Structure 1
Amino acid sequence: MVNAWLGRGINFGNALDALGDGPELALDERHFDELAKAGFDTVRLPVRWSAHAEALPPYSIDPAFFQRVDAGVGAALGRGLQVVVNVHHYHELCTAPDEHLPRFLALWRQIASRYADHSGRLCFELLNEPRGHLTADRWNAVLAEALAVVRDTNPERTVIIGPAEMNSPDALPALAVPDDDHLIATMHYYAPFEFTHQGAGWVPGAERWLGRTWGDTADENAVRDDLAKVAAWGRKQRLPLFIGEFGAFSEADMSSRARWTAFVRAEAERLGMSWAYWEFGTDFGAFDLELAAWREPLRQALLDDRDPTAGIPR
């Protein structure tokens, strides 16, 4: 099953999806080496295609940018890793879906055609965190159109779909799942948001949450309840589940970050979900780029098969 192959993953966020207003990750061959050596199975490559394509028909993607994505895909596949390529940060589509739908479909037509002959270990994710005017009903229709475009050239490639409301777990019941045998459902998990995003500069009021910790019994039960609902939905839909993003911002204390990460990871695996941590080496990073070393509490939280919270102080 492809979902089992995805297994344990990590996002190379703030690289091919960089917005230019925060830290950026330069994709480097050695980063892929670190992932493979550590024991990860999958790389999720968020890609901001919309910033590198023509605004008017035929909406051609910049060849130089395509080559950057090619390099990331090749580096992952060449090390035996699975890779998820998505459309990330297409905010204009969420603001004006009718206007941008032709461009969105044209992007997928180009992406799907370019990678049609690649290994089945490459998966497509149609859109990261649909939101705004891309409501559940509207997104369900757009999703179906985009999937049809992909299927023209990739009839059996695994495609990852997620719900509206920024891939919220609570929005899964409103996701209309197409009749397709090669789908995985995704959602993102950042609960409680006041813990995982404390001090995040892009979140209004996040400085008020500084100092919030995580790890008591009520905290753990909340995660159990949240993920149990997701798992129940997946069973009902007979659809594998992939937590495409979860992580806690660097302003949270490391002990709480490690406990939360370990608990979410272990609970997801217990329920049969694959996952990808957000993210490798910038503001949520499990890897310290300056020291060229893993932040050991987070590495253990993600990859240690023993009691995931053993030795992490409460």
Structure 2
Amino acid sequence: MRRFKIVIVILVSLCIIPVCFSSVLGEIPTVFTPINRSGDAASGLGMRRGINIGNALEAPQEGVWGVYIEDDYFRIIKEAGFDTVRIPIRWSAHAESYPPYRIYDDFLQRVDHVVSKALEQNLITVINVHHYEEIMYDPEAHRERFIAIWRQIAEHYKDYPETLYFELLNEPSYNLVDRIWNELVEETVKVIRESNPTRKIIIGPTRWNSVYKLEALKLPDDENIIVTFHFYTPFEFTHQGAEWVSPSPPIGRKWIGTEGEKKQIRDELDIAVKWARKHGNITLFMGEFGAYSKADMDSRIRWTSFVVKEAEKRGIAWCYWEFCSGFGAYDPVTGRWREGLLNALVSSKHYVSVETDAGSILGAGWYEEGSYATIRVVETSIGFPVTSVFDHFEGLRPEDRLIDTGVVELYVDGPRVIKAVWRKDYTLLLGTVAAVCVIAVVAVFLYRSRVKTK
């Protein structure tokens, strides 16, 4: 009897092991090969494609937010295909709180070093006033100090190359309303022009540099003004899981690239373009855009690539947020770019990806606009005794070409994502169970026959 029980245990185990093994086989990752290639940039400025070195000099102290600017960063940025770097700076934390509001020498020397290293790489270098939170809540009390800080910055850098640009203030908001901001812009630009008559000055609207507040922005009569806006649409996607946002958008939202999703981005960019044309073709600069690392990487790549290409089609210069922190395109630990994000920023190609719950898919990656991406399911039937059988692709469009079972050619006119749908086939499992039952019955019969003969 004991031998009979052992036989049954072995038979059951033989049924279970293939099922477990099948689940492991289903975890083969999607394959893609990013290609790093610079595309065309449409802006009339030398400033076209940039990146922010955020969370460094705009932190309360450089390094406390995890980023200390290394000299080699600027070479890395330049060689990757960028022509511009934006350096956010919290001057207000390094200046006296009483007249004449002197900027501390040691901090100014540190900024000098960083700016010089950027300019040595022939990068257009944007410095701004960043995280001056006090002026947002009490603008009248900080008006004099803000202007004094800019007077010192302008005087100090007056002999620097014209490729050093000034940006007045990052994301004016809260009590710094349109009327007060417009007055402050006019007064500050006059002060800067005393020592820098032709330097580029970047100015943005209120409500965190929103395109929806461009109409309220009043600009000085100055041909060297650039207008900036920031772009994080849809916010629920780009800021999901962001710890500094309250309430924080829930994690898990994807950006697939549906017609509705793409229209939302195009419409918002068009607001900026129409405003710029209405006011004499003012040069536009998308000074910040990016998706936080809590979003899935494929969605971040698709969103970034689409925003970049739509901005460039409209002649909008841009500056990705940011280099090597929570939104970072560069990994400072490995010393390498996150290739998918880098390609999204500097490649002329579009990203094609496939979602799948089983099997292995070939063909995802980067493709030229107007081409076809061949997507192929490596094996259309996998697993034992429960088999996953490829059924169909979801997300195909009329212009796509279905070549064979598990093979499709996708027309690439932007980021594309499709899903490979699988169904479960229990035929082998049922056959295995039936075989086990037959063996068990035979074993019982033989055992009883043997007992009777004794």
Kindly indicate whether the alpha-carbon contact (under 8 Å) linking 2:43 and 2:315 is maintained by their aligned counterparts in 1.
Answer: no
| Aligned CA distance change for structure 1 residues 19 and 217 (closer, same or farther; 3 Å) | farther
Amino acid at match of 1:127: L
3-state SS of paired residue (1:250): coil
Q: CA deviation at 1:229?
A: 1.3
Shift of 1:306: 2.5
Give ranges in structure 2 of 5+ residues lacking alignment.
1-41, 353-364, 367-414, 418-454
Could you tell me which residue of structure 2 aligns to residue 104 of structure 1? 146
Q: CA deviation at 1:23?
A: 3.1
- Is residue 10 from structure 1 mapped to residue 19 from structure 2 by the alignment? no
1:244 maps onto 2:267 in alignment: no
From 15, 23, 48, the equivalent of 2:90 is 48
One-letter amino acid of the counterpart of residue 211, structure 1 = G
Alignment RMSD: 1.6
Deviation at 1:28, TM superposition (A): 0.5
Alignment of 1:210 with 2:262, yes or no, is: no
1:171 alignment partner, SS class: helix
Q: Contact (CA 8 Å) 1:162, 1:186: kept in 2 or not? A: yes
Local SS of the residue matching 1:102: helix
**Cα distance, 1:96 vs structure 2:** 0.7
Higher helix share: 1
Q: Distance between the aligned counterparts of 1:132 and 1:24, measured in 2?
A: 27
Amino acid at match of 1:15: A
User: For 1:216-247, what per-residue CA distance to the aligned partner results, in whole angstroms no more than 9, with x for missing partners?
Assistant: 22111110111011111111112100000000
The 5 A counterparts of 1:61-76 are 61-76=103-118
Report whether the alignment pairs 1:264 with 2:307.
yes
**Residues 249-286 of structure 1 deviation map (CA, whole Å, 9 limit, x = unaligned):** 00000000011111111100000010000000001100
Q: Does 1:300 align with 2:305?
A: no
Residue 308 of structure 1 and its aligned partner are, at CA, apart by 5.7
What residue is the counterpart of 2:163 in the other structure?
A: 121
Asked whether the equivalents of residues 199 and 224 of structure 2 are also in contact (C-alpha less than 8 Å), the reply is yes
Partner of residue 269, structure 2? 227
Letter of the 1:183 counterpart: I
Could you tell me how far 1:68 is from its partner in structure 2? Answer: 1.1
Report the Cα distance in structure 2 between the residues aligned to 1:181 and 1:47, rounded to whole angstroms.
25
Q: Which amino acid aligns with 1:163?
A: P
1:313 CA drift (Å): 6.1
CA displacement at 1:101 relative to structure 2: 0.4
Task: Give the Cα separation in 2 of the matches to 1:205 and 1:58.
Answer: 40
Q: Deviations over 1:108-141 (max 9, x none)?
A: 0000001001101010000000011100111000
2:242 equivalent in structure 1: 200
Give the aligned partner of residue 274 of structure 1.
317
SS in 2 for 1:4: coil
1:59 aligns with 2:101: yes
SS in 1 for 2:45: helix
2:212 is matched with which residue? 170
**What is the number of equivalent residue pairs in this alignment?**
313
SS of equivalent residue, structure 1 residue 209: coil
Distance in 2 between residues matched to 1:268 and 1:4, nearest whole Å: 14
Looking at structure 2, the residues matched to 181 and 240 of structure 1 have their Cα atoms a distance apart, in angstroms, of 10
Which consecutive segments of 4 or more residues in structure 1 shift more than 6 A?
none
* Preserved contact between residue 103 and residue 149 of structure 2 (Cα < 8 Å): yes
Counterpart for residue 181 of structure 2: 139
Q: Is the 8 A contact 1:199 1:251 kept in 2?
A: yes
C-alpha displacement of 1:2 = 8.7
The structure with the larger Rg is 2
Larger mean Cα displacement after TM superposition, 16-25 or 61-70: 16-25
Decide whether the 8 Å contact of 1:255 with 1:313 is kept in 2.
Answer: no
| Kept after mapping to 2: 8 A contact 1:213/1:256 | yes
Q: Deviations over 1:54-102 (max 9, x none)?
A: 0001100011111111111101110111000100000101111111000
CA contact (8 A) 1:3 1:184 kept: no
Whether the 8 Å contact between 1:124 and 1:159 is mirrored in structure 2 is yes
TM-score scaled by structure 2?
0.67
The CA deviation at 1:18 is 1.0
CA displacement 1:14-43 (0-9 Å, x = unmatched): 111014697331110111111011010000
Q: For residue 361 of structure 2, what is the aligned residue in structure 1? A: none
TM-score by length of 1: 0.96
